[in-house]
Amino acid sequence: MTAESPTPAVSCVVGQRIGAGPVGAIDLNAACSGFVCSMNVAYGLLMSGAYNSAAVVGADCITRHMDFSTYGRGTSVLFARSSWNPSAVWFVTQCSRTIDVDHMPAAAGNFVLSRGSDHLVVDPSPYGSLSSLTGNAPTIQSGHLPANYVPSQAYWSVRTGYSWATRLEGGELLARCDYADQYKFQERPSDIPLAQRDFVLMPWSAGADSESALLLVVDRARAKAASQNLHLRFRSPTLLKEQAPGRFAGTLGQSDLVIRPLRQSGGTPEVRDEARGSCFDQKKNYTRGNCDAARFDVSEMRQRIPGPSPVAVHLVEVGPKGASAAEPARLAARGASAWGFERGGRRWAVALADSAAPATYEAGDDEARHLVLPGEGGAGQPVRVSARAIASGCEVALGGKAGLELRMPAAFAMDKGCVVRALNGRSLLAPAR
């Protein structure tokens, strides 16, 4: 499908260049299955007795058709790295609508996370999976998709995508995947009015070989019934164990993985091991949408958050083997949920606004970096941010009439004396057209 010319056939040019002589040659275009189809054609020609030998050359250069700018197809997949060091943390997430002829399951909000060569949160989806449950994508049970599709996302979306994605100068990545339209069924609108996953990646390092990161994963959805569960899972080749209540950990190579639920509207997290398998295993009674098989052995932490308005916040940390894990501090807040994190001399305060209404939270005056995620419909909206000194440090006010005007998601630092100043960053998405 990426031939240098339609005629003469590239196979004729190859035959001439290798000195094959006066032989027949054909180009065969079958996209991803081109090599297999070519082998079958060659086998048929040999078995017919018309030829004694055949050469099959499979060479496609798909990169010619890729848009490497941030303004093309690549905006549905985000890549982030902490540095180019061997122990760097790599984070990849996608938020794209899926079409039925694609070679991937419906998996908006899926992500993977590695530290150096240690792949700690992985997508082990087996070939042929059409289920959202084989990776790390969130999904909520739709009430109008066909029974064999649920609880997975579907294949008719036209609006799934990132609401925003921002990279700060300090290395933090903030992104929101809006996947509510994944539950559109043919021409019927989605019956899930809200389904979004937010990511906040906070890298830090205590040295060249000790790069680490905190990843906050925020899931919010809205359905019609309590029976419409939000399905979440984090899959890893490490042997995950519940080391303490609400703390799930594993080790791979020279890296540790720790997963902590920080907030959940219901449900109980559990850990289980999934042996290598296939979505075509008839003994499992898998349907199109309920397969949770893996192509290699993994452990997973999973949760079912009951509807109709499920909320879950998880902290995922990767760092050097044997290092202590973060101890998040819940911050006093009104109209929001907020946590404080301190790692490697860096401090963050992350707040999740409940709505567009004014909110406040308390934080120390320790020059932390503040990251505020909007509630439903708040992306890109202006917000006034101010702070005042209190006994415990500073009280931050969001949405008042005074203060520094920022746009959601808001990123700012607070100096001694509770003085707010904006942090520089850039959008990773295409400008509005």
- Please check whether residues 279 and 318 belong to one and the same domain: yes
Domain around 400? 327-422
* pLDDT tens profile 212-250: 999 999 999 999 999 999 999 999 999 999 999 999 999
Q: Pick from 255, 213, 216: which is nearest to 344 by CA?
A: 213
Please report, rounded to a whole number, the percentage of residues in the chain having pLDDT higher than 90: 67
Q: Tell me the CA end-to-end span of the chain in Å, nearest whole number.
A: 31
DSSP H or E segment with residue 16: helix 10-17
Number of domains in the chain: 3
Instruction: Identify whether 145 is part of a domain.
Output: yes
Which band of pLDDT confidence, cut at 50, 70 and 90, is reported for residue 32?
confident
* Burial letters 308-344, b for 16+ CB under 10 A, else e: ebbbbbbbbbbbbeebebbebeebebebbbbbbbbbe
- Please check whether residues 269 and 284 belong to one and the same domain: yes
Last-in-domain residue among 282, 303, 326: 326
pLDDT of residue 98: 75
- Please check whether residues 284 and 339 belong to one and the same domain: no
- Please check whether residues 313 and 368 belong to one and the same domain: no
Instruction: Identify whether 4 is part of a domain.
Output: no
pLDDT of residue 66: 47
- Please check whether residues 361 and 322 belong to one and the same domain: no
Please give, one letter per residue, the 3-state secondary structure of the chain: CCCCCCCCCHHHHHHHHCCCCCCCCCCCCCHHHHHHHHHHHHHHHHHHCCCCCCCCCCCCCHHHHCCCCCCCHHHHEEEEECCCCCCCEEEEEECCCCCCCCCCCCCCCCEEEEECCEEEECCCCCCCCCCHHHCCCCEECCCCCCCCCCCCCCCCCCCCEEEEEEEECCCCEEEEEECHHHHCECCECCCCCEEEEEEEEEEEECCCCCEEEEEEEEEEEECCCCCCCEEEEEEECCCCEEEECCEEEEEECCEEEEEEEEEECCCCCEEEEECECCCCCHHHCCCCCCCCCECCCEEEEEEEECCCCCEEEEEEEEEECCCCCCCCEEECEECEEEEEEEECCEEEEEEEECCCCCEEEEECCCCCEEEEECCCCCCCCEEEEEEEEECCEEEEEECCCCCEEEECCEEEEEECCCEEEECCEEECCCCCC
Give me the residue label for tokens 């694609």.
102
Mean pLDDT, residues 373-389 = 88
- Please check whether residues 83 and 207 belong to one and the same domain: yes
DSSP H or E segment with residue 14: helix 10-17
More confident residue, 428 or 242: 242
Instruction: Identify whether 3 is part of a domain.
Output: no
Mean pLDDT, residues 242-261 = 95
Q: Is 40 helix (H, G, I), strand (E, B) or coil?
A: helix
pLDDT of residue 71: 41
Instruction: Identify whether 122 is part of a domain.
Output: yes
pLDDT of residue 48: 92
pLDDT of residue 428: 86
pLDDT of residue 72: 43
pLDDT of residue 97: 82
* pLDDT tens profile 291-338: 999 999 999 999 999 999 999 999 999 999 998 888 999 999 999 999
Give me the residue label for tokens 């082990």.
124
pLDDT of residue 68: 42
pLDDT of residue 64: 55
Task: Choose from 31-45, 50-64, 309-323 the range with maximum mean pLDDT.
Answer: 309-323
Last-in-domain residue among 326, 349, 372: 326
- Please check whether residues 314 and 343 belong to one and the same domain: no
* Strand residues in 11-156 grouped as ranges (E): 77-81, 89-94, 111-115, 118-121, 139-140
Inform me whether the pLDDT recorded for 418 exceeds 80.
yes
pLDDT of residue 430: 62
pLDDT of residue 411: 96
* pLDDT tens profile 335-358: 999 999 999 889 999 999 998 779
- Please check whether residues 52 and 189 belong to one and the same domain: no
pLDDT of residue 2: 67
pLDDT of residue 65: 52
Please report, rounded to a whole number, the percentage of residues in the chain having pLDDT higher than 70: 93
* pLDDT tens profile 14-26: 888 888 888 888 8
- Please check whether residues 59 and 86 belong to one and the same domain: no
Give the CATH number, domain containing residue 320.
Answer: 2.70.98.70
- Please check whether residues 205 and 315 belong to one and the same domain: yes
Which band of pLDDT confidence, cut at 50, 70 and 90, is reported for residue 1?
low
Last-in-domain residue among 326, 345, 370: 326
* pLDDT tens profile 73-94: 445 789 999 988 889 999 999 9
- Please check whether residues 163 and 144 belong to one and the same domain: yes
- Please check whether residues 37 and 72 belong to one and the same domain: no
